[in-house]
Amino acid sequence: MADPLILALDQGTTSTRAILFDAKGRALAEAGRPLEQFYPADGWVEHDAEAIFQASVEVLAEAVRKAARSMSDVAAIGVTNQRETVVVWDKASGAPIHKAIVWQDRRTADACERLRKAGLESRVTEISGLLLDPYFSGTKIAWLLDHVDGARARAEAGELLAGTIDSWVIWKLTAGAVHATDATNASRTLLFDIRKQAWSAEMSETLGVPLGLMPDVRDCAGDFGETDAGLLGRAIPIRGVAGDQQAALMGQGCIAPGEMKATYGTGCFLLLNTGETAPVSKARLLTTVAARIAGRTTYALEGAIFIAGAAIQWMNEGLKVGGGPQGVEKLAMEASDDLGVVLVPAFTGLGAPWWDAGARGAIVGLTRDAGLAEISRAAFDASALQTRDLIEAMRADAPEAFHAKLELRIDGGMSRSAWFSQRLADLTGVSVGRATYQETTALGAALFAGVGSGVYRDVEEAAAARPKTELFKPAMDSHHREAAYARWLDAVARVRA
């Protein structure tokens, strides 16, 4: 294949997209379909798994067609997906027994609380690297087995299969020939022993999920079979799989200890590569699999910020600042530097490292001189200051991963603002590298598939295809930076109290 291409399937929470890349990491064409959300009860979120598969086939074909290329030019497919969303389906018919339960769904909160009160969370964290939270997949699978008529008996009889969205799509693309996931998605289920790299019989018993349901766990750049020839016109190897945040970590080229990335969307996910060390977090960060290549596992610390870009959206919708995000940014740039207004956007509680579900938002430090401009700036600063919270927690948990040339590589909607990128560098005291190409999640899936199919010799060659970055260095003096952070910590303490 003279000019091998790689096709990435990016199955997200609100859309299903495919992007066709060349071996230099350049996007040639893309296609997408919106994904309908279902809200059957308060706090419940579901997706139609069959619709996800149909959209996947459509966008894979359309992306190649848009590039005026042939499927014969495609060396491999890489898959990345919304993590923690689960499907349980009939092994014989391939029909889901229920809609997919989405990662945002909170229906298993009571089950998690019961396990926590039983004193099991420390053991769950020790094995899985995670916390007892309905966010993760295991309790969702147990709920389906207990609430769909006959499901648990059918699972025990070996009639059902379960998996995250990657597993479901792969099973369907291969016409049921392959039931597999990768180590990054497995590490988000509560059922996977991240150090032994195997499903945990202890967690299976704790959560009530038979391991016979679960897929084979393979490397991120592994063999996941071939697509059924009737779907895309020929059988195409599937050679790369990773959960969305780990795919973005790869797409940002964060393959060595101390390299980290943050994706700023509605919320923010920050991941720090810790190499082959799986640190136990004292700050209740998550320890997760960053990647597994050729049987070698690397780990990451992960912190989640619940509200990032959503604070800017609130300024538009709640405080009626016009002009979209750009309107809020324009106001923020006009704010006085000296008033010290702080916004803590704890609209749904605080995420890592605070994990305070009862906290609520507040604006602190208002004076007669303060107005919408200062609140607008505080809305942007909140994302930067929450990022510093995570960096400080990670520095304490994994000091050996930090080094003098530390750089935070960023992507996502907020990163498109050069002003915010500079503000982020100023308030964290860390150099910020903004990706010039934003679709790093899809690119990461393509790079994993490129390694798995031999387009790249190794992960280092693949990472060299990552997008160039624009560097923003801290320009704020340390006195002002530390004063801003002290105000932030004081405001957080107030909303927690």
Residue 337 pLDDT: 78
Confidence of residue 455 (pLDDT cuts 50, 70, 90): very high
Average pLDDT over residues 142-156: 95
Query: For 182-194, what is each residue's pLDDT tens digit?
Result: 999 999 999 999 9
d(C-alpha 475, C-alpha 425), whole Å: 8
Higher confidence at residue 103 or residue 199? 199
d(C-alpha 281, C-alpha 370), whole Å: 39
Average pLDDT over residues 135-163: 95
Query: For 207-227, what is each residue's pLDDT tens digit?
Result: 999 999 999 999 999 999 999
Q: Is the peptide bond before 353 cis (omega within 30 degrees of 0)?
A: yes
* Domains of the chain: residue spans and CATH: 5-244 (3.30.420.40), 252-435+467-497 (3.30.420.40)
Residue 225 pLDDT: 97
Average pLDDT over residues 137-150: 96
Residue 305 pLDDT: 87
Tokens matching residue 204:
């299976």
Higher confidence at residue 112 or residue 351? 112
Q: Is 122 helix (H, G, I), strand (E, B) or coil?
A: helix
pLDDT of 410 strictly over 70: yes
- Please give the model's pTM, rounded to 2 decimal places: 0.89
Q: Tokens 């926590």 belong to which residue?
A: 116
Residue 133 pLDDT: 85
Residue 390 pLDDT: 95
- Ramachandran region, residue 208 (left: φ > 0; alpha: ψ -120 to 50; beta: rest): left
Residue 329 pLDDT: 93
Residue 474 pLDDT: 94
pLDDT of 1 strictly over 70: no
Query: For 480-492, what is each residue's pLDDT tens digit?
Result: 999 999 999 999 9
Residue 196 pLDDT: 96
Residue 103 pLDDT: 85
The pairing of strands 5-11 and 74-81 is parallel
d(C-alpha 159, C-alpha 26), whole Å: 43
Main-chain dihedrals φ then ψ at residue 339, nearest 5 degrees: -90, -20
What percent of the chain lies above the pLDDT cut of 70?
Answer: 99
Residue 27 pLDDT: 94
Residue 207 pLDDT: 95
| Mean of the per-residue pLDDT values of the chain | 92
pLDDT of 404 strictly over 70: no
Residue 437 pLDDT: 87
Residue 497 pLDDT: 66
Query: For 333-380, what is each residue's pLDDT tens digit?
Result: 998 877 889 999 998 788 888 878 788 999 999 998 889 999 999 999
Residue 307 pLDDT: 85
Confidence of residue 284 (pLDDT cuts 50, 70, 90): confident
